A and B are shown apart, each in its own frame.
Chain A
């Protein structure tokens, strides 16, 4: 296996999935966002979005806060410091894969 392919296998699998990558990217540019924002921006179905957010929560990358705005339930999601550094590491690793090595 070449060096760059070994690097590929070292990518974070939790973040590498396209839908989760999009969610992490969306959350990385804000302090926190609610379910509706993520739903609209990701164009995922409600069920799909819930599953991916749960997966990110299980990995310790996303933190959930459930509150009420008036009588309406309101859930906010934010990246944990662990999730933020994992995303930065992922971007760095992915970028490094595309750097051409002179032979």
Chain B
């Protein structure tokens, strides 16, 4: 019975994900951001500040408009499709104390191991070596962070498919990092004096890291859309007929 009660608690928490719409909307937003990053082109040393500001502006605008559009679409879809089939649920408000606990756990579980790994790599190799290898390790590290978030979120919400999503995010991060290893890193001087880092190689590293980040975001978006679509089809099959309370 205790197991059933636990699953009942989780079903309430994870109800927002029952129809796959949130994953599809989130995946669509991620794909849009990834595409913006991929299509933003390359900057030279002289045009980098303007280019960076322009891309950052586009991303912020796309995020704001995308989130607003996603909320409106989700609201309409849930009102017309989900609530008539499996009912309406108002989620609990998160208190300030709970936000602090979530933040504390996120720091403990994610940032501390990441900082440990980064510190260890700084000790083992030179600082320049870490910077030079950023296009390789950054997607892997981000894949690890996302995978951890999906596992924790999946456990909290009682959604098993989040484990698969976590595994796919992790594999995507590793694949992008490995892909970069196979292609080869941009040339970067490993022994330079502090404060005299050459701008062009640093820019090449940042550029390659951003391309890999864009790829990771884009693929993750497609994974989320696919997961949402499968969830939606299953949900529709399991709940074909809308109910009316009076019937």
**Residues of chain A at the chain B interface (Cβ within 8 Å):** 18, 21-22, 25-41, 69, 72-76, 78, 91, 94
Contact = CB atoms under 8 A, between A and B. Distances in A.
Nearest to A23: B8
20 contacts: A18-B1, A21-B5, A22-B4, A26-B12, A27-B12, A28-B9, A29-B8, A29-B10, A29-B13, A30-B15, A31-B92, A31-B93, A35-B245, A36-B245, A38-B87, A39-B87, A40-B87, A40-B239, A72-B246, A74-B245
Contacts of A28: 9, 12
B10, B89, B90, B244 pick with most chain A CB within 10 angstroms: B89
Interface in B6-40: 8-13, 15
A33 B90 contact: yes
Nearest to A42: B8
A33 B89 contact: yes
B245 A73 contact: yes
Contacts of A30: 12-13, 15, 89-92
Contacts of A27: 12
Given A35-B87, A76-B88, A25 B9 contact: yes
A35 to B, nearest CB: 6
Given A18-B1, A30-B15, A72-B246, A37 B89 contact: yes
B81 interface: no
A-B pairs, top 9 by smallest CB distance, nearest first, are A37-B87, A29-B12, A36-B87, A25-B8, A31-B90, A34-B88, A30-B12, A32-B90, A29-B9
Interface size class of B (residues with CB under 8 A): 20 to 34
A36, A38, A78 pick with most chain B CB within 10 angstroms: A36
Contacts of A91: 5
B86 interface: yes
A38 B13 CA distance: 14
Nearest to A28: B9
B8 A22 contact: yes
Contacts of B245: 34-36, 72-75
B76 interface: no
Contact of A25 (B5, B243, B246): B5
Nearest to A70: B79
Interface in B189-247: 239, 243-246
Nearest to A94: B2
